[in-house]
Amino acid sequence: MAEMPIILSVTIEAVQGRETELATMLTGLVEPTLAEPGCLGYELNASQEAPGTFLFYEKFAGQTALEDHVNSTHFQTFLNVRSLSDPIRKQTVVRWSLIA
């Protein structure tokens, strides 16, 4: 049986004063992620009402593609930078299912 696509919304709030730094870091994930074979969509958005709040809309072919993304060099580098000095104040991940 084929894997079901995985859809995620990831809301990320920057630490006050580090909004631009975080935006740069997140923007750097877009191009290499879109080049991943199992990536069906990876869109970064910025809130118009809450500066420093970002939303990723992500769609991967299945769990394997998501795991490949999480284990990719560019995403692991992002996590490593976060571990040194995290510019993220709050992060919420919601997993969605396509119903129609």
Considering Cα of 58, then 61, then 64, then 68, what sign does the dihedral take? negative
Q: What integer pLDDT is reported at residue 1 of this predicted model? A: 58
Q: What integer pLDDT is reported at residue 82 of this predicted model? A: 95
Judge residue 42's burial from the number of C-beta atoms within 10 Å of its C-beta, 0-12 exposed, 13-18 middle, 19 or more buried. buried
User: Residues of the chain whose pLDDT is less than 70?
Assistant: 1-2
Q: What integer pLDDT is reported at residue 99 of this predicted model? A: 85
- Return the domain boundaries, the chain: 1-6+27-48+62-100
